[in-house]
Structure 1
Amino acid sequence: MYKISIITLLISTLLISGCNSFKKNKPSSVNKEEMASKVIDEFKHAWNGYKKYAWGHDALNPLSGGFHDWYKESLLMTPVDAFSTMCTMGLEEEKKEAKEIIFSKLSFDKDMYVQHFEISIRLLGGLLSAYQMDGDERFLKLAEDLATRMLPVWSSPTGLPYRYVNLKTGAVRDSISNPAELGTYVLEYATLSSITKKPIFKEKAEKALLYLSEKRSSIDLIGSSININTGEWVDKMSHIRGGIDSYLEYLIKYYLFTGDKKYKVLWDKHKQALDKYAAQTVESGLWYSVVDMNTGERKATVYGALDAFYPGTLCLGGDLEQAKKLQESNFKLWTLHGVEPEAIDYTTMQIPEGNSFYILRPENIESAFYLYRFTKDEKYLKMGVEYYESLKKYCRTDIAYAHIKDVATKEKEDVMESFFLAETLSYLYLIFAPEEKFSFETHVFNTEAHPLKKLN
C-alpha cells in the first residue's frame, strides 16, 4: 500500500511537471516577429509624415499637415528624440536623414529660454544616446555644448535647478518647481561627465537629487512642489503622478546605472512609504492615491496615464508581484474606453473633468514591456497587441498619428509630439523585438526611453 502510494505520487509529480513544462515551452500565440515588423511600419508612417509636412521643425500637426515649434526657433525635437528608436529598429535610411538635418541645422546658440527638464530628457539624453549608439562625435559635441549652456540653472542657493534657462545669455527663471523637474538629470549628466571627463555635470545633478531626497518627511514621502531658493515645500501632496514620477524612477535607475547602494536605500524608503500610505486596493484593483506627505492621509483617489510608469519601475526595484497587480489596473485604464484617458477616479472608474484626453503617452506600454521582459508571461505580449490595435484604430491619420481630444468620442487633436516616436513606439516595438535589441545588463533607459550605457 505504501509503495503504491509512493509510485502514484511520483507519477503524479512527473505528470504535473510535464504539464507545467509544456505550458512554459508551448509556442506563443502572438507572432512577435510579425508584430515587431508592424510597429516598425507605423514608425515609418509617422516619420514620413513628419518629413513631408514638418521637416526642420520640432513637431508635426498630423491632421492639418502643419507643424509647431516649442519656442521661437526650432530645436529639431523630433529628429533628435526619434534617433535612438531608429537605431534600435535598425532603420539606416531614416538615421541618415535625421543625421543630415541635425548636423546641418541644429544649433543651441539661440537667445531664448528653454525648459531645462524637457530639453535635458529629450535633447541632451537623445544626443548622448545617439553618440553611444551611432558613434558620430558630432552628437557628443552638440550634447556638451547644450549641457554647458544650461549649467546656470544650478546656481540656486540650494543647488536645485531653476526651471528655465536662456541658452545664449545664461539667465534663469522660475524658482517654484517639482521633484521630477529637479531630480531627473543624473543619468544624462553622469553619462556626459563619464565621456568628457568633466565631473561638474555629474556633481551638479547628484547634489540636487540627494538634496531633494533629504527633504522627505518623517514618513519618507515628498511633496509636489518646492521653492528652490528656500528649500521649503509649497505643495505637500505626495503621489506617483506627473511632477514626482521620474524622480522616483531615477533613484532606482541610478543605482542600477552606477551600483551606488545609497540610491537603492533611498528608493526603498520611498517605495515602502508609498506602499504603506498611497497604495490602495479597491474593488477595481490596486491603485496609488494622492496623500499628505506629512501624515499619509489620503486626499484624492485619482490615477492616470503618467502614473502607469510605476509597474515598470517596480520591476527594476525587484517587486514583481506588486508590479503585476498594478499593471492589471493599468490595462483596465487603457481598455475602459478603448484607449486610456489622462486620469480616472479609481473608486468610481469615472473620468474627472478635464482628463478625457489621450496624448499618445507611452507609460502604460512601457510597463508592459518591463513585465514581459521580467516574467516572460504571454499576457503582456497580448497587451502589446491590444495597445498596437488601439493606437492604429483610434490615433492613426493619413499623415501620421494624432492625440485624442476625448476618449469617449475619439475625436482627434492636431498634435503629435516627439515622444510618440522616442518612447511610445520604441517600447511597443521592444515588447515584440528580440531581447538583444535592449540589454538590461549593459543599459538603462532615461525617462524619454533613450538607452544609456551603465557606468558600472
Structure 2
Amino acid sequence: MWATPLHRAFRSSLLLRNTIYGSLILLALTTLMYIKTPTSTTSIIPHYTQPSEPPRELEDVSIAEWVRRSVQVKQAFLHAYRNYERFAAPHDELKPLTQGKVDNFNGWGVSAFDSLDTMLLMNLDDEYTRALDLVKKVNFKKSEPRFVPFFETIIRYLGGLLSAYALSKDQILVSRAQDLAKALDPVFNKRTGMPYYSVDPSSGETLGPQLGILAEIASLQLEYTYLAKLTKSKHFLSRSQTLMKTLSSANLQHTGGMFPIQWNITSGEPFAYRLSVGAQADSAHEYLLKLYLLTGKKDKRSLEMYIRATTHIINNLLYLSPTRHLLYVTDSDMPTFDRASSTTHIFEHLSCFLPGLLALGAHTLPLNNLTRLGINLDVLGNEKLYGHVGKGYHRLKKYNLKELHMWAAEGLAKTCWITYADQPTGLGPDEIMMATVHKNVADANGDSYLWMDALDKWKKSGGHGVIPGLADHQPIIYTEFERSRGTGKGHDYELRKPGYLLRPETIESIYLMWRITGDWKWRARGWTIFEAIEKQTKTRYGYASVLSVDTVPPALSDSMPSYFLAETLKYLYLMFLEDDPVSLDKWVFNTEAHAFPVLV
C-alpha cells in the first residue's frame, strides 16, 4: 500500500513509542524477578498455575455461586462413591487407579457405612437406599481379617450408623448399631474400661499389647453415650462412664494435667510421659470437649479435663517458626529426674483438627467465667495435685481466656492453610519439620520459641502491633526449576512426609472457623483446596492419594480412604451451604465427622 510522508512519520513515531513502552515493561519484569522479600524469592514466570491466597473479590461471591459450588462437591462425592459401588462394594475401599478393592477394615463395606450420613445430608436417596441394603446384610460376627480394630470400627462403622439414624430415623440403623456394639463388647478390660486394640467378634478373643495408645483407648465416649440414649441401655452408658472415671482419676502430675500417649490398660495408669495432639492422641483430647457438649453441658468432669489439656497445650506445645512466625503445635516428652524434656518440632496434618476444636470451645464455653459452671481454676491449678500445671493456669489468668483460645485457633488454622497454599499442587503435606534456628528471639536453650513467651513480651510492650502468630502470610511457591537450584528453604519448614492422603483435618478446622467467625476468607480458602483436590487427585475411577505435594503433576497412590467420603467431602459440602443443617449448637461431630444431636 502506498504511504504518504505523513503516514510514514506517523508509523515511525508509533514504532518508537511502542519500543519505549516495551523496554520499560521488560525492565520492570526483569526487576521484579530479582526482587527479594525477607522470606522468599518467588518467580513471576511459573511453570504451572500456582495456588495462592484467595483474592479479595471472593468476598463478594453470590449465594447462588456458593450453592453451585456445593453442587460441585456433591458431584465429586457421586463420582467417588458410584465408582466404589461399581468396582469395590461390598468390600471396604476402592483402589481408584486400578478399579480394585481392598478389605482393610473388617471386610464389612466401611466406605458404605462411613458414607451414610453424607448421602443423607446431600439428599442422595438412591445411593442411601442401596447402601442401606448392604448394611442390613452384614454379619458382624465374621470379619476379614479375623481381628477387628476397635477404634476404627467405632468411629467409622458405629459412628456412621448412629449419625445416619439421627438424620433418617430408620430404626434398622439402631438395631444394627446395637448388634455391632454387642459383637465388640469383649474388647473391654473389666476394671478400667479401656479397650484392647482388637477383638475377634466371633470368639470374643482380644489381641493387642498391655500398653494402649491414647487415641485408640479413649475415643468411644460419644458413640456409646448416644447409643445408650437410643437403646436405653445402662450397659452401653457404663462403657463411657467407666473409661471417663479411669481417665479422671489417673495421676497426671508428671504431664501437667494432660493425657500422655501410652497407658497401661490393666492398671489404668499412664505409662511414660510422651505428649501429643497428633496421630496417637488427637481424638482423645477432642472427645473431652465434645462429650461435655453432647451431654447438654452436664458432664463437668470431661470439661475439667479439657481445660487442663488445653492449658498445657497452649503453655507448652505451641511454638512460632523463626522467620515467618507460623504458629504450630508439636509433641514432646516431659522432663524426668534423669532426662531433660525434648521437643520434636514435627507438625502433623492430623494435628490440624486442633484449631477447629479450640474455636469450638471458645464458641460454646464461657471461658472467661468458668466459675459459673462450677469450675475453679485455682483448684485446677493446685500444684500439689497437678504438678507444675498450676503455673500454667496462673500464667493464662493474665489473659482473656476466650480471646486467647481464639487467637490460638486463628494462628494454627492459618498455618494449616499456608502449608497447602505453599505447595505447587495446592495440597498440604502429611508431616513437616519446623525450623528451630531463630533470629533475635529465642528461649534459654536458643533453639525454640514458645508462643506464650512471645505473647507475654507482646503484652508487656503494650500489645502494639500484630498478635504473635496471627499475621497474614502470603504463600511461597517454588517451581521445580527453582527447587533444583537450591531455592525453597524459606518456608520455615521441610517436608517430612510429603504425601496428601485425602485427609480432612485442615478442611474441618477451616469449616469450623467459617461457621464460628463468619469471616469470608475461611470459606474462600476451603474452595481453593477443593479446586486443588479436583485438579490433582481426581481419576477416572475416583480420587487418589498424592505421593508428594511439591511435584506437579503429582504421582498418585492407589488409595481412596473411606474418610474422604465421610469427612473431607462432607465438611466441604457443609462449608458451601447457606443453610446449616447441623448447627454447632445442636449437633456434635465425632472424630469421623458423624453428627450426633445434643442430648436433652
TM-score under structure 2 length normalisation: 0.69
Structure 1 window deviating more from structure 2 (230-239 vs 403-412): it is: 230-239
Matched, 1:448 2:592: yes
**Alignment deviations for residues 113-153 of structure 1 (CA, whole Å, 9 cap, x no partner):** 10010000000111111122112211111100110111111
Which residue identity does 1:324 align to in structure 2? E
| Equivalent residue number for residue 188 of structure 2 | 154
- Quote the Cα distance in structure 2 between the aligned partners of 1:340 and 1:383: 13
Q: For residues 347 and 588 of structure 2, what CA distance do their matches in structure 1 show?
A: 26
Q: Which amino acid aligns with 1:434?
A: E
Q: What is the match of residue 43 of structure 1? A: 77
Tell me the equivalent position of 2:216. Answer: 181
Alpha-carbon distance change, 298 to 286 in structure 1, aligned in 2, over 3 angstroms: farther
265, 285, 289: which is aligned to 1:248? 285
1:69 match? 103
Where 2:319 maps in the other structure, the secondary structure is strand
Cα distance in 2 between the residues matched to 1:216 and 1:292: 16
SS of the equivalent of 1:436 reads coil
Matches within 5 A, 1:298-317: 298-317=342-361
Matches within 5 A, 1:399-414: 399-409=541-551, 410-414=554-558
Q: Post-superposition shift, 1:434?
A: 2.7
Match of 2:428 in 1: 340
Deviation at 1:356, TM superposition (A): 1.6
Moved more, 218-227 or 124-133: 218-227
Deviation at 1:157, TM superposition (A): 4.1
Partner of 2:133: 100
Q: Counterpart of 1:16?
A: none
Task: Return the alpha-carbon distance in structure 2 between the equivalents of residues 222 and 441 of structure 1.
Answer: 27
CA distance in 1, matches of 2:155, 2:575: 22
Equivalent in 255, 258, 273 of residue 236 of structure 1: 273
Q: Deviations over 1:13-47 (max 9, x none)?
A: xxxxxxxxxx9xx8446831111111001001101
Structure 1 residues 7-406: aligned runs within 5 Å = 27-28=60-61, 31-70=65-104, 74-103=107-136, 105-110=137-142, 112-174=146-208, 175-215=210-250, 217-218=252-253, 219-258=256-295, 259=297, 260-282=299-321, 283-284=323-324, 285-293=326-334, 297-318=341-362, 319-337=405-423, 338-347=426-435, 348-352=492-496, 355-406=497-548
C-alpha distance in 1, partners of 2:512/2:342? Answer: 29
Deviates more, 1:371-380 or 1:145-154: 145-154
8 Å contact kept, 1:369–1:428: yes
1:3 aligned residue: none
Counterpart of 2:520, as a letter, is E
CA RMSD after TM alignment: 1.8
Distance 1:434 1:188 in 2: 28
Deviation at residue 253 of structure 1 after TM alignment: 0.6
- Once residues 181 and 135 of structure 2 are traced to their aligned partners in structure 1, the CA distance between those partners, rounded to angstroms, is 17
- Other structure's SS at 1:280 match: strand
Q: Contact conserved, 2:189 with 2:265, CA < 8 A, in 1?
A: no
Cα displacement string for residues 379-408 of structure 1 (whole angstroms, at most 9, x for unaligned residues): 001111111011111111011000112223
SS of corresponding position for 2:532: helix
CA contact (8 A) 1:277 1:297 kept: no
CA distance in 2 between partners of 1:93 and 1:350 (Å): 45
Give yes or no for contact 1:239–1:290 (8 Å, CA) kept in 2. yes
Q: Secondary structure at the match of 1:311?
A: helix
* Amino acid corresponding to residue 379 of structure 1 in structure 2: K
- Distance (whole Å) between structure 1 residues aligned to residue 417 and residue 249 of structure 2: 34
In 2, the alpha carbon distance for the partners of 1:339 and 1:190 equals 36
8 Å contact from structure 1 (residues 277, 298) kept in 2: no
CA distance in 1, matches of 2:192, 2:238: 14
Q: Number of aligned pairs?
A: 428
What is the aligned partner in structure 2 of residue 12 from structure 1? none
1:425 correspondence with 2:462: no
Partner SS, residue 547 of structure 2: strand
Q: Which moved more, 1:330-339 or 1:381-390?
A: 330-339
Q: Which runs of 4+ in 1 moved over 6 A?
A: none
Using the TM superposition, give the Cα deviation of residue 436 of structure 1 relative to its aligned residue in structure 2, in angstroms. 2.8
Q: TM-score, normalised by structure 1?
A: 0.90
C-alpha distance in structure 2 between counterparts of 1:308 and 1:82, whole Å: 22
Following the alignment from structure 2 to structure 1, what is the Cα–Cα distance between the partners of residues 244 and 300? 14
SS in 1 for 2:575: helix
Contact 2:244 2:302 in 1 (8 A): no
CA distance in 2, matches of 1:448, 1:294: 33
Q: Provide structure 1 residue ranges, at least 5 long, that are not aligned to the other structure.
A: 1-22
| Pairwise CA distance, 1:169 | 0.9
Largest Rg, 1 or 2: 2
Percent identical among aligned pairs is 32
Native 8 Å contact 2:251 2:270 kept in 1: no
Deviations 1:278-323 (A, max 9, x none): 0112233111121224569342101121000001100111032221
Residue 160 of structure 1: CA displacement? 1.2
The residue type equivalent to 1:241 in the other structure is G
Is contact 2:150–2:197 with CA below 8 Å preserved after alignment?
yes
CA–CA distance in structure 2, aligned partners of residues 199 and 320 of structure 1:
37
- 1:166 Cα deviation from its structure 2 partner: 0.8
1:439 to 554, 572, 583: 583
CA contact 1:286–1:325 (8 Å) conserved in 2: yes
Indicate if the aligned counterparts of 2:96 and 2:558 stay in contact, CA closer than 8 A: yes
Report if the CA contact (8 A) 1:161-1:208 is conserved.
no
Structure 1 residue 232: Cα displacement: 4.6
Gaps of 5+ in 2: 1-55, 363-404, 436-491
Distance 1:232 1:262 in 2: 18
Q: C-alpha deviations, 1:334-392, integer Å up to 9, x for none?
A: 2232211110012241012xx12111100000000000000000000111111101111
